Amino acid sequence: MINDKQLGRQASTPPSPRQAQKPASATVRVIHRLFGNQRELTTNLSLLSMSLPGIILLFIFAYLPMLGIVIAFKDYRFNLGILGSEWVGLENFRFLFGTDAAFRITRNTLLMNVLFISTTTACALVVAILMNEAYRSRMSKYYQTMLFFPYFISWVIVSYFVFAFLNGQTGLINRWIDALELDRIAWYRSPQYWPAILVFANLWNGIGFSSIIYLAGILGISPELFEAAKIDGAGKLQQIRFITLPMLYPMIIILTLLAIGRIFHADFGLFFFLPRDNPLLYSTTDVIDTFVYRSLVELGEISMAAAAGFYQSFVGFLLVVGANWVVRRVNEDYALY
């Protein structure tokens, strides 16, 4: 890791004379070993003080509740509390793996998320580049606004529209199919179509959100780069390929890494409401989150829900640590940590 190497180098630089003269106490020596010479120390302390509010807030609102993860390994009883409840080892995880649904929900969750990540990234990049091309136009702000609309519409409402399009009796698409004198499609009994439907819905919902990050990235690229390329005779496509995309790599990689960390978590609303919790579609639409909901909605077992959540986080953690390791080997600057 580049910063480690740098740190190593800095740490091995000879101590400044001033520092050597002072009869440094043990603590001071430790501090200097950690942070380097006086100037570096000042810089580091300033930087540390900047990050302090964030560190504290994360500690309180993210790390303290994390102690509650132990609930996943306990038989949590309200009257006994977190500490008083009995340890049960991995018992709470059993329901996730007890049936052959385990394979299916894992496959669906992973597959759909991979599809989501790849399609969203690709389309968001295209849209961002197009928006950048249209940036000086008066229409630009209308495009941006329109792309953001879907983000405001909840999945419940989206599910109404999807039903209006796809249902067997009055659905718009089936009426079009009738007009073309083709065979109707029973969308709600045909699981094979649903990955595509869900990918489309997800894209539709999130494109405004994702593309704007890349648009900000493109607008952050120094215009001189493009000018220079133009002088060298590069066309639009070449500019995109050799300037825009490379400059966006860090952002693409970081967003992908973050998405990989959540790859075992599915968007519950999307997978629950759009297929309308229809058992006939489970083979392609059932994901870990919907499965857990369905298993536990009657039972209300907090411990088992916690176990499922821990499993999702833990696998995501392993995957992202692996992915980060690979990224670091390729280009240390792009790594997450």
Task: Tell which positions 93-152 bind another protein, by CB under 8 A.
Answer: 94-95, 98-101, 127, 130-131, 133-134, 137, 139-152
Q: What is the smallest separation between the CB atom of 59 and another protein, expressed in angstroms?
A: 7
Could you say which residues in the range 294-333 bind another protein, by CB under 8 A?
294-302, 304-306, 309-310, 313, 316-317, 320, 333
For the segment 260-289, give every residue that binds another protein (CB under 8 A).
261-262, 276-280, 282, 286
Nearer to another protein, 14 or 233 (CB): 233
Q: What single DSSP character describes residue 279? A: G
Residue 204's identity, in one-letter code, is W
Choosing from 115, 117, 173, 213, the residue that interacts with another protein (CB under 8 A) is 213
The answer to whether the CB of 218 falls within 8 A of the CB of 128 is yes
Contacts of 141 (CB under 8 A, 6+ apart): none
Residue that the structure tokens 């411990």 belong to: 303
Closer CB to another protein, 21 or 321, in the complex: 321
Q: Which helix (H) or strand (E) segment is 249 a member of?
A: helix 245-261
Nearer to another protein (CB atom), residue 21 or residue 147? 147
Name the 3-class secondary structure at 197: helix
Q: Are strands 74-75 and 86-87 parallel, antiparallel or unpaired?
A: antiparallel
| From candidates 116, 194, 272, 291, binder to another protein by CB under 8 A | 291
Using only the alpha carbons of the chain, give its radius of gyration. Answer: 26
* Chain residues 149-208 in contact with another protein, contact rule CB under 8 A: 149-154, 156-161, 163-164, 167-170, 188-189, 204, 207-208
Nearer to another protein, 82 or 111 (CB): 82
Residue in 198, 202, 206, 217 binding another protein, rule: CB under 8 A: 217
- Do residues 166 and 187 lie in contact, with contact meaning Cβ atoms separated by under 8 Å? yes
The answer to whether 174 touches 185, Cβ cutoff 8 Å, is yes
Q: Of 147 and 197, which CB lies nearer to another protein in the complex structure?
A: 147
For residue 189, count CB atoms less than 10 angstroms from its CB and return exposed for 0-12, middle for 13-18, buried for 19 or more: exposed
Q: Which of 117, 173, 212, 234 binds another protein (CB under 8 A)?
A: 212
Distance CA 6, CA 26 (A): 24
Site for another protein in 229-248 (CB under 8 A): 236, 247
Window 20 to 79, contacts with another protein (CB under 8 A) = 34-36, 40, 43-44, 46-48, 50-51, 53-55, 57-69, 71, 76-79
The residue (of 21 and 62) whose beta carbon lies closer to another protein is: 62
| Candidate ranges 89-97, 113-121, 190-198, 226-234; the one touching another protein (CB under 8 A) | 89-97
- Smallest separation (angstroms) from another protein to the CB of 18: 19
Q: How many Cα atoms sit within 13 Å of 316 on the Cβ side?
A: 22
Q: Are 154 and 134 in contact (CB under 8 A)?
A: no
Smaller CB separation from another protein, 21 or 255:
255
Q: How many residues bind another protein (CB under 8 A)?
A: 137
Q: How many other CB atoms sit within 10 Å of the CB of residue 12?
A: 8
Q: In the complex with another protein, which residue's Cβ is closer, 76 or 194? A: 76
Which residue, 21 or 192, has its beta carbon nearer to another protein? 192
Closest CB 86 distance from another protein, rounded Å: 11
Q: Which helix (H) or strand (E) holds 75?
A: strand 74-75
Contact 125, 132 (CB under 8 A): no
**Rounded Cα distance, 274 and 152, in Å:** 16
What's the closest the beta carbon of residue 150 comes to another protein, in angstroms? 5
